[in-house]
Amino acid sequence: MSHRQLDALIFDMGNVLIDWTPERLVRHFVSDESIIPQLTQAVFLSPTWKKLDQGLVTEAEVIQTICANLPGTLHPIVTDLVTRWPEANLIDPRMEGLARHLHQAGIRLFLGSNASLRFHTYQHTIKALSTFDGIQISADVLISKPDPAFFEVLMRTHGLVPDRTGFIDDLQRNCDAASRLGIQSYHYTKDFEALVDWLKDCGVLSLQTTVEEILGLE
C-alpha cells in the first residue's frame, strides 16, 4: 500500500453507482419509439425535474406541471415515469465489489447525489450503499450540486477534511465545484479500470489489487 492520501470518498449515484440514461428509462415504459425523445425532454430533462431533486416540489406537482404541456394520452405515462422509474434501475455490480474493498481498507464512504425523496424507497436495492457511512441527497438538504453548499453541508455533517476526501462524479461541473473546495475529485466516465488506477494512486487500494479481485473473479 502506498501512502494513503485520502480517508474518505464521496460517490455520486447516477452513472456511477447506477446507470442514469433518461431515454432508457422512458423506453422501459413506452413502446412507441417516436414519442421517447418528447417524453425524455418533458420529464427527466425538464426544470421541474430538477426542482424535484432539490426537494422544492412534490411528485404530484411535477406530474401536474408536465402534463399541462402534453396531450392527455401521455398523462398516464408521465405518471408512471415520475413515480415508477426506479423499476427500470440498472445498478452497476462492479461498484458493490469496489465499495466492499474500500470499506475493508478502512476508507469512509459517503453518497453525495442529486436525487428526489423517492430515493428512500429504492436505496435498499443499491447494495454498495450498505457499506457507506453516510448518505446525502439533494432533496433532503434542499441544495443540489454543483452548489458548493452541497459539499459544505456534507463535509460539516460528517467531519470530513477536504484535502483528505475524494469525490467521484460523472459530471465535470460537479467535480470542478468540489475541487474548488479542496476536495480531490475524479471525473468518472464509466472506465472502471481507470477509476481503480486512480484509487491506487491515492493509496486507498493496494497497488496489487486487480479489477478481477474486486469483481470476485479470482
pLDDT tens for each residue of 112-121: 999 999 999 9
Q: What is the dihedral of CA 118, 26, 20, 152, to 10 degrees?
A: -40
Q: How confident is the model at residue 218 (pLDDT cuts 50, 70, 90)?
A: low
Share of the chain above pLDDT 70, in %: 98
The total number of residues written for the chain in this structure: 218
Average pLDDT, the chain: 96
Per-position DSSP letters for 79-111, written without gaps between them: HHHHHHGGGG-EE-HHHHHHHHHHHHTT-EEEE
pLDDT tens for each residue of 56-77: 999 999 999 999 999 999 999 9
Q: Which residue type, as a one-letter code, is found at position 144?
A: S
- Whole-prediction pTM value? 0.95
How large is the average pLDDT for residues 17-27? 97
What integer pLDDT is reported at residue 216 of this predicted model? 85
What integer pLDDT is reported at residue 75 of this predicted model? 98
Q: How confident is the model at residue 217 (pLDDT cuts 50, 70, 90)?
A: confident
